[in-house]
């Protein structure tokens, strides 16, 4: 075996090991950030309807109900939403709206009076109660105003 061939084989092996050792959030299962709707339609007038059209969608990719009480959702600027008593059923989604409303099994409300998610780029991070990262989703331009993560 030539030296160059050994280097190439070693590089391919290391690359494959890295890919196999770090599954994507979707493949790993659990609670993931499914979609970021970061730019509500129309002008940003600060109305509650406009604020609630800005939201993050979480999804439970497991076959069991998951409790996310005490988990935190945050943006790059440090705005934090802490989940109250919250469960997400298997395969179900939950929206976390920026504005005010009444929490139910499908929707949570941050109760903010201004927008959280930056239209020109931001990162949503979901952290477990113990602080470990469960998932994140980043975008860098306004595009369509939403991103599937």
Average pLDDT over residues 83-108: 97
Average pLDDT, the chain: 85
Q: What is the pLDDT of residue 141?
A: 79
Average pLDDT over residues 69-97: 97
> Which pLDDT band, with edges at 50, 70 and 90, does 129 fall under?
very high
pLDDT digits (tens, 9 = 90+) for 27-72: 446 999 999 999 999 999 999 999 999 999 999 999 999 999 999 9
Which residues does residue 37 pair with via DSSP β-bridges, in sequence order?
55
Which residues does residue 82 pair with via DSSP β-bridges, in sequence order?
72
CATH of 24-148, one of 2.60.40.1260, 2.20.25.10, 3.10.110.10, 2.40.10.10: 2.60.40.1260
Q: Kindly tell me the burial class for residue 98, based on how many C-beta atoms sit within 10 Å of its own C-beta (0-12, 13-18, 19 or more).
A: buried
**Least confident residue range of 28-42, 70-84, 107-121, 124-138:** 28-42
What is the pairing mode between strands 31-37 and 147-148?
antiparallel
Q: Does 11 score more than 90 pLDDT?
A: no
Q: Does 147 score more than 70 pLDDT?
A: yes
Q: What is the pLDDT of residue 142?
A: 64
Q: Kindly tell me the burial class for residue 130, based on how many C-beta atoms sit within 10 Å of its own C-beta (0-12, 13-18, 19 or more).
A: exposed
Kind plus residue range of the DSSP H or E element containing 4? helix 3-21
Q: What is the pLDDT of residue 29?
A: 62
Q: Does 118 score more than 60 pLDDT?
A: yes
| Spans of all domains in the chain | 24-148
Average pLDDT over residues 87-115: 98
């Amino acid at each position: 075996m030539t030296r160059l061939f050994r280097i190439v084989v070693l590089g391919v092996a290391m690359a494959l090991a890295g890919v196999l050792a770090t599954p994507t959030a979707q493949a790993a299962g659990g609670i993931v950030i499914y979609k970021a709707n970061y730019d509500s339609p129309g002008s940003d007038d600060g109305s509650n309807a406009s604020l609630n059209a800005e939201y993050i969608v979480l999804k439970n990719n497991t076959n069991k109900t998951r409790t996310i009480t005490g988990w935190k959702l945050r943006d790059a600027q440090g705005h934090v939403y802490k989940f109250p008593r919250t469960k997400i059923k298997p395969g179900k989604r939950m929206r976390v709206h920026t504005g005010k409303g009444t929490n139910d099994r499908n929707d949570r409300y941050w109760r903010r009076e201004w927008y959280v998610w930056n239209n020109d780029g931001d990162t949503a991070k979901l952290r477990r109660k113990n602080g470990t990262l469960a998932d994140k989703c980043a975008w860098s331009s306004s595009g369509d105003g939403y991103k599937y993560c």
